[in-house]
Amino acid sequence: MVKKLNPLLGAVAAALLHLLHPSPALAQTPKDTLVIGMSQYPPSLHPGIEPTVAKVYAMRFGYRPIATYNDDMKMQCFICTELPSIANGRAKLVDLGGGKKGMTVKFTLHPQAKWGDGVAITSKDVAFSWSVGSKPESGFAGGEFFRRVTKVEVLDPKNFVLHLNKPVYNFADLNDLALMPAHLEEPVVKGLKNPADYGKNTGFNREPTQAGLWNGPYKLTQIQSGAFLVFEPNPHWWGPKPHFKRITVKTVENTATLEANLRSGDVDFIAGVLGLSIDQGLAMAKEPASQQKYDFAFPPGLLYEYIVLNNANPVLQDKRVRHALLLGIDRETLVKQLVDGKFPVAHSWVNPLELGFDANVTKYAFDPARAKALLDQAGFKPGAGGIRVNAQGQRLSLEYMTTAGNKLRELIQQVLQNQWKQIGVEVVIKNVPARTYFGETLKKHQFTGLAQLALSSTPESPPTAVLSSSGIPTANNNYGGQNYAHFSHPAMDKLVDEVQRELDPAKRKPLWAEMQKIFTEELPVLPLYFRTDVYVVPKWLTGVIRPGKLPAGPYAVEEWGVR
């Protein structure tokens, strides 16, 4: 039963809402502003540190890399004038001596490109950003980029050359560079006693509303940690003028509450990648009233859901146990019943949409009998209550974590918990808020058993950060990298290096196949499925849903408008 507030409590509630919603009193029509809801708050706002999906999505309103993949999954210049290629001569193979080959890649920055405080974006910013990121203790996630770029040669304020110690096919992607304004961040770096303290002191985290940190169509103007980010037009943006006078990115970690915010009008639009779960979106799309109010889209994305296994756990070090865990879950039925079959089951981290996908990859069908046999071989026999025990009488019990408040993930946890119990494995669910989960739990290996999350990737992205030894987060690299399983396999490391060096797509195919073969044999993580994004967009908002194309994300926000 819903209770009515007395007048005094109603006034207090109204005051609290006034404080939590940034600047609602500004005299603007609703269609001059946009409130976007998403289910996670970024653990950091620095472009190179802690690359969570939430951070990448939110920052795109005000931050653009020099060049990377756009919303159509095609490489695009954002701050440069022309994409380098072998054909146009901007990318060249060079002889490093001793039989080794390297590469030089020339970029020209847009002549009008400026930071949000009006200072020009120059080659000095590029050289400075590289110098900070190249120190492992700075904690930048794009470690492989900084290992392969040995020098940034400044030709003039708008032209620079990257010197690479090996040829790589993705040389035009500078997303990992994490471009920073030297005029603001260089004094911060010079004032550090220890480079490892950079993440705590960077302006992106200490004073993120400094206009000069932003270079996109919007700049960050207000922030309440854990609650919202407010972006307003950047007067020094050199591209098309954006329509909205204010965009608020509001975090509601519970997806059921997020849906309620959308229905009540407190949120205009749900972020596709971190918004409603697919079951919520499908249910809304069937409602006649919602069909009249919203446009719906469920595009496939390069978003991979998986369960990390802590390889420091003696139980999980046994390959037979890892195989049994995957054989013991019915992923096909899971996606059919929970998400209407919208999510294709994943057999490795490589999406079937990608060029590197191997159609002959080993597939683990649901086979509880085989799972039980493997657990028998591993020394775990049925015990009290159906839970297996080893020779010492220790129960086969594992902790299972994910982001608290995510309705679909929590439902999946319950399903898997029940299915694993059928083969004699006990799992204990222990969830934490997303900021803690991504900020501490995963990168510092503060989980003892299983940890579920998603990985967002770019087309044919080498698995350097997630499957190579160099991607393991440690104190030495200030916990950069996303190899949360701490998987270390010499043959995989060699293949990751070789696939990057191979410029011929046809010759990369067998290398990708071999990597997937090692993955499915070792199973450092349990692949679940590839996610489909959920877009629930008000019919008055244009530029997001594009007929015949993928929906547009924040990289095209200056093209969003009002019908």
Per-residue pLDDT of the chain (563 residues; tens, 9 = 90+): 333 334 333 433 343 344 344 443 333 445 899 999 998 898 889 999 887 888 888 999 999 999 998 888 889 999 999 999 999 999 999 999 998 999 999 999 999 999 999 999 999 999 999 999 998 888 888 778 888 999 999 999 999 999 999 999 989 999 889 999 999 999 999 999 988 899 999 999 999 999 999 999 999 999 999 899 999 999 999 999 999 999 999 999 888 899 999 999 999 998 777 888 888 898 999 999 999 999 999 888 788 999 999 999 999 999 999 999 999 999 999 999 888 888 899 999 999 988 899 999 999 999 999 999 999 999 999 999 999 999 999 999 999 999 998 888 999 999 999 999 999 999 999 999 988 998 889 989 999 999 999 888 778 888 988 999 988 998 888 887 789 999 999 999 999 999 988 889 999 999 999 999 999 999 999 999 998 888 999 999 999 998 888 888 888 999 999 98
CA 234 – CA 435 distance, rounded (Å)? 28
Give pTM, 2 decimals.
Answer: 0.77
pLDDT given at position 360: 95
pLDDT given at position 27: 37
pLDDT given at position 6: 42
CA 268 – CA 539 distance, rounded (Å)? 10
Residue among 128, 125, 127, 140 nearest 196 (CA): 140
pLDDT given at position 477: 82
CA 400 – CA 290 distance, rounded (Å)? 36
What sign results for the dihedral spanned by CA atoms 12, 13, 15, 20? positive
CA 43 – CA 515 distance, rounded (Å)? 31
The runs of H, that is alpha helices, within 459-560 are: 464-467, 490-501, 505-522
What does the domain layout of the chain look like in residue ranges?
A: 28-63+216-299+534-562, 72-128+143-180, 301-532
Residue among 97, 95, 124, 121 nearest 110 (CA): 121
- Strands 91-97 and 100-108, bridge-based pairing: antiparallel
Third-level CATH fold of 28-63+216-299+534-562? D-Maltodextrin-Binding Protein; domain 2 (3.40.190)
CA 328 – CA 427 distance, rounded (Å)? 13
Contacts of 501 (CB under 8 A, 6+ apart): 166, 167, 168
Helix-strand-coil split of the chain, %, nearest 5: 35, 20, 45
Helix (H, G, I), strand (E, B) or coil at 114: strand
Contacts of 202 (CB under 8 A, 6+ apart): 46, 49, 185, 188
Residue carrying the six token digits 């989960």 = 437
CATH superfamily placement of domain 72-128+143-180: Dipeptide-binding Protein; Domain 1 (3.90.76.10)
Q: What are the strands, taking DSSP E only, across 142-260?
A: 149-156, 159-164, 218-224, 228-233, 246-251
pLDDT given at position 30: 57
Sequence letter at residue 429? I
Q: What are the strands, taking DSSP E only, across 39-172?
A: 67-69, 75-77, 91-97, 100-108, 149-156, 159-164
Contacts of 135 (CB under 8 A, 6+ apart): 195
CATH superfamily placement of domain 301-532: Dipeptide-binding Protein; Domain 3 (3.10.105.10)
pLDDT given at position 513: 96
CA 112 – CA 474 distance, rounded (Å)? 40
Sequence letter at residue 184? L
pLDDT given at position 44: 87
The residue length of the chain stands at 563
